Amino acid sequence: MATEASTAYGDSLAFLLSQVGARSAELFAARVAGLGITPRQFAVLSHVESGTPRTQQQLADLLGIHRNNMVALIDEMEAAGWVYRQRGETDRRVFEIRPTDAGAVLVAKVNELIPDLDSSLTAALTDRQREQLVHALAVIADSLGLARAVHPHVASRGS
């Protein structure tokens, strides 16, 4: 349980951020696991469900996942009945990934879970503290060049 430790980095903002962030990701993964979906699958499904149709390559670029790894991802999600492949009409090389009704329902279910997770994370904060926290994080995310809805943990490295 780490009764004490007296390490210097324990006071670091970078450490606090990555520590709380990692736990935050774990909690999210644990909650959506109950719905049978992984964070990475949800990231893909969420993009597919909201917006114009995306090809596998576009999804790969968008999420920072290599297109090679996108294949198995889409395979799983197609087998789960959340999406289906549809040949591009103008470019017959591509597959446009579209959500099924079940996929859209699942996205809605996950999105309903998120406010509750956010609340549990900030249960010990005042409303004002929470607002300031969100704002500060958004500012940092911008300054780091982090795109909205693109998560480094979901991504691999190659484009």
List residues near a second copy by CB under 8 A. 1-2, 4-10, 12-28, 42, 46-47, 50-51, 61-62, 107, 110-111, 114-115, 117-118, 121-125, 129-130, 132-134, 136-144, 146-153
Site size for DNA (CB under 7 A)? 24
From candidates 18, 69, 119, 120, binder to DNA by CB under 7 A: 69
- Burial per residue of 46-85, b for 16 or more beta-carbon CB atoms within 10 angstroms, e otherwise: bbbbeeeebbbebbbebbbbeeeebeebbebbbebebbee
With tokens 């909205």, the residue in question is 148
Does position 85 bind DNA by CB under 7 A?
yes
- Gap between the Cα atoms of 30 and 116, Å rounded: 13
Please say which residue, 70 or 110, places its beta carbon nearer to DNA.
70
Please say which residue, 62 or 80, places its beta carbon nearer to a second copy.
62
Residues in the chain, how many? Answer: 159
Residues contributing to the site for DNA (CB under 7 A): 40, 55-58, 60, 66-72, 74, 85, 90-95, 156-158
